[in-house]
Amino acid sequence: MELSMPPPQIYVEKTLAIIKPDIADKEEEIQDIILRSGFTIVQRRKLHLSPEHCSNFYVEQYGKMFFPNLTAYMSSGPLVAMILARHKAISYWKELLGPTNTLVAKETHPDSLRAIYGTDDLRNALHGSNDFAAAEREIQFMFPDVIIEPIPVGQAAKDYLNLYVTPTLLQGLTTLCKEKPADPFIWLADWLLKNNPNKPKLCHNPAAEEP
């Protein structure tokens, strides 16, 4: 008797993409390439960073020879920041971008975005997060209200629904049938807000109280 293996869990990652100031006018065609490459653009915003903000964003590069030129370049005009989502978004976006150095990209990855839109080793047209930790930090820098969390899909999504959503919803619907409110939709919405199992709970800590 053969045992069928459960399908692997697949998560949708988020990564930060930036269309840098010198090619911000190419936003529409670059977004078209992004969408045709299987990404979803979760959020986007156009903004003009100050040199100070650029220094904070590229804090890990601080002290390197190119750092002043980098912050001057990134603050030279409006840029477009986007949150991209798909399975393995970080690695797929980095692959689509090509090597960091535009000159290298043109030689080794001529079809990459940096080879097409980049100018030189500094003006490489686009930015992508290097890993999950960088994506989390960079997305929260550009989009402070966004929560970074892998989104379950496929079997993982079914497991999440069965474990966390369905039991609460069934309890709410059962209570709804007993209560028979005048407006069941509003009542159920209020009930779900009050009985959300993922709602943070405050813990009483006597040790923290004043004597």
The catalytic residues are: 127
Task: Count Cα atoms within 13 angstroms, Cβ side, for 32.
Answer: 4
Backbone angles phi, psi at 77, to 5 degrees: 180, 180
Q: Which residues contact 181 (CB under 8 A, 6 or more apart)?
A: 187
d(CA 31, CA 198): 35
DSSP states along 112-162: SHHHHH--SSS--SEEE-SSHHHHHHHHHHH-TT----PEEETHHHHHHII
d(CA 24, CA 170): 49
The sign of the dihedral angle between the CA atoms of 160, 161, 162, 164 is positive
